[in-house]
Structure 1
């Protein structure tokens, strides 16, 4: 059991500066863990507050207005 908990925020006012790409790749990497760094897979919650909602597209989820929660991986 991993006793560590952390919050990582990726934020910037400027558009097009790779916020979504950074957040998605960081979430994916943390969820897989690292054998070399001896880090176990982590439970990750990725919240996209951007009105464009491009995180969903990065995981192959169709964009639609919904209050439904989905498990991606």
Structure 2
């Protein structure tokens, strides 16, 4: 079973990578782009066959290692 963990900086946390991307888009002539936030997506292939257990396991992984929960939030989706 596959779990997808999306990690993003929490609102209010400075995002220099997102700001740089936004500036680069402007430089390339793209107009109307507002605030840009950058994050990461982590795909996990899990041996678990029960979706609820797979999600719980991926959430534990995200909380303990994949996200810095002080400044980042995460979302787990099982597909």
**TM tier, shorter chain?**
0.3 to 0.5
Query: Higher helix share goes to which structure?
Result: 2
Structure with greater contact order relative to length (CA < 8 Å, sep ≥ 6): 2
Query: Higher strand share goes to which structure?
Result: 2
Length-normalised TM-score, structure 1: 0.35
Length-normalised TM-score, structure 2: 0.33
Q: Which has the larger radius of gyration?
A: 2
